[in-house]
């Protein structure tokens, strides 16, 4: 029998992180001692008090049925309370918050709620591949906004052609940024809100890394802090990176109630909601002491300093990130990003992500994820120092 795939699958680039995982497994099969700095999956466990809350919730029969809907009201209230405490943003848990099976699910499905064939989606590049995947699945037209060092890795909204703006329906932004680790100032969000209002474009802000920062005096801000932001868009958030809960699959979308409810309607037709035991664990995460988050940040800071200082001593040109657990490193001259990744894997058994795999503007960089401990980072640096460039 001949199986014919949907034409849209043929338009998709290979999902980068699956390809990286495949190459890593091949190297392991060859007996290599792999140091994986590729996929952004925290290596530290979920804090014990959150695990305990999830275990207790598993035993409740009420949590064994379909959860349905936008999430437990108690979870949505916890999200609203956290936003008020962290950002001084007021959210109505009744209609301005929707629980997600991880923020990736909502980011991928928002297109189904908003995009018709031919609508333009403004996408930062380099960037998270799912912004474009959802565009392809809905027959939208991607318009890529380069994130360049000269612009502080912020999109140049003024450079978008007028004919594109007339057809644009949705813009994705992501700060703190993956992969560049850039942090957007409040002034950028003020400009973004005005831009969205002027051009009737909905903003989707991916804020998954807002709690992975390294200076208490420079905490990342929320898009929703800006006056008028709720009129034009929503923010996606996740417990994955903040609390080491990537496998739990719990996040949310919040902000503009019409957009939030449109995403909720898509979810009603695609899945049956977020497992309530996981939501209960999320409530504990959001409403308990945040000391565990501070401990996680300190560990990432030690790793960041070890990797960046070490790479600079070797002769690389690396700027320490202010946020995220990524290091966006300029590569040695004379190589492409893909060549560097291949060289590090073949000669050092080190896995990292090629910048050009996340968008053509990422050429000249590789992304290191701070997802191994300091001794392993030092071992990686020792291996890299022996390479002849």
Q: Considering its fold, how many domains does the chain have in total?
A: 2
* pLDDT confidence tier of residue 11, bands split at 50, 70 and 90: confident
Residue 2 within a domain = no
- On whether both 299 and 182 belong to a single domain, the answer is no
Of 267, 287, 307, the residue at which a domain comes to its end is 287
Residue 380 within a domain = yes
- On whether both 34 and 58 belong to a single domain, the answer is no
- In this predicted structure, what is the pLDDT of residue 17? 66
pLDDT averaged over every residue in the chain: 95
Of 230, 259, 287, the residue at which a domain comes to its end is 287
Chain segment 90-138, per-residue pLDDT in tens: 999 999 999 999 999 999 999 999 999 999 999 999 999 999 999 999 9
**Can you tell me the mean pLDDT for 296-309?**
98
- On whether both 38 and 109 belong to a single domain, the answer is no
- On whether both 297 and 279 belong to a single domain, the answer is no
- On whether both 19 and 124 belong to a single domain, the answer is no
Of 287, 305, 330, the residue at which a domain comes to its end is 287
Residue 1 within a domain = no
d(CA 61, CA 331): 54
Give me the domain span that covers residue 366.
Answer: 7-45+292-385
Cα dihedral sign, 99-104-106-109: negative
Chain segment 62-99, per-residue pLDDT in tens: 999 999 889 999 999 999 999 999 999 999 999 999 99
Please answer whether residues 184 and 173 qualify as being in contact, where contact means their C-beta atoms are separated by less than 8 angstroms: yes
- In this predicted structure, what is the pLDDT of residue 170? 98
- On whether both 227 and 162 belong to a single domain, the answer is yes
- On whether both 212 and 330 belong to a single domain, the answer is no
- On whether both 39 and 174 belong to a single domain, the answer is no
- On whether both 37 and 89 belong to a single domain, the answer is no
- Tokens 């990736």, located at residue: 104
CATH code where residue 81 lies: 3.40.640.10
The CA-atom distances, in angstroms, between 325 and each of 8, 210, 321, 340, 382 are 33, 11, 8, 20, 21
Residue 233 within a domain = yes
Q: Is pLDDT of 27 > 90?
A: no
- On whether both 227 and 82 belong to a single domain, the answer is yes
CATH code where residue 13 lies: 3.90.1150.10
Residue 132 within a domain = yes
Residue 103 within a domain = yes
**Can you tell me the mean pLDDT for 1-27?**
79
Percent of the chain scoring above 90 in pLDDT: 88
Give 149: exposed, middle or buried? Use CB within 10 Å, 0-12, 13-18, 19+: middle
- On whether both 88 and 17 belong to a single domain, the answer is no
Chain segment 373-382, per-residue pLDDT in tens: 999 999 999 9
**Can you tell me the mean pLDDT for 257-271?**
96
């Amino acid at each position: 029998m001949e199986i014919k795939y949907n034409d849209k699958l043929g338009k998709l680039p290979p999902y980068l992180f699956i390809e990286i995982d495949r190459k890593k497994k091949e190297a392991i099969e060859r007996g290599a001692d792999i140091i994986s700095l590729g996929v952004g999956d925290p290596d530290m466990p979920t804090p014990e008090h959150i695990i305990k809350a999830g275990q207790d919730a598993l035993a409740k029969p009420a949590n064994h049925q379909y959860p349905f809907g936008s999430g437990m009201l108690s979870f949505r209230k916890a999200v609203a309370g956290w936003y008020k405490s962290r950002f001084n943003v007021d959210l109505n848990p009744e209609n301005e918050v929707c629980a997600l099976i991880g923020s990736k699910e909502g980011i991928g499905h928002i297109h189904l709620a908003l995009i018709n064939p031919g609508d333009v989606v403004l996408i930062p590049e380099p960037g998270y591949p799912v912004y474009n995947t959802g565009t392809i699945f809905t027959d939208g037209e991607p318009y890529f906004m380069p994130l360049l060092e000269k612009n502080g890795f912020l999109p140049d909204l003024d450079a978008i052609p007028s004919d594109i703006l007339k057809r644009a329906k949705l813009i994705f932004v992501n700060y703190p940024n993956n992969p560049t680790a850039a942090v957007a100032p409040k002034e950028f969000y003020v400009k973004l809100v005005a831009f969205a209002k002027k051009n009737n474009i909905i903003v989707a802000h991916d804020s998954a890394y807002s709690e992975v920062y390294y200076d208490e005096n420079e905490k990342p801000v929320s898009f929703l802090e800006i006056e008028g932001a709720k009129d034009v868009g929503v923010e996606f958030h996740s417990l994955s990176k903040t609390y080491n809960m990537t496998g739990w699959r719990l996040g949310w979308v919040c902000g503009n109630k019409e957009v939030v409810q449109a995403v909720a309607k898509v979810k009603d037709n695609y899945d049956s909601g977020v497992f309530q035991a996981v939501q209960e664990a999320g409530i504990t995460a959001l409403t308990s002491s945040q000391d565990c988050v501070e401990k996680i940040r300190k560990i990432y800071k030690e790793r960041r300093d070890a990797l960046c200082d070490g790479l600079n001593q070797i002769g690389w040109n690396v700027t320490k990130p202010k946020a995220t657990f990524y290091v966006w490193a300029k590569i040695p001259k004379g190589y492409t990003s893909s060549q560097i990744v291949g060289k590090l894997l073949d000669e050092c058994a080190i896995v990292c992500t090629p910048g050009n795999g996340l968008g053509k503007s990422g050429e000249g960089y590789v992304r290191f994820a701070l997802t191994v401990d300091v001794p392993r980072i030092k071992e990686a640096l020792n291996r890299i120092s022996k390479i002849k460039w």
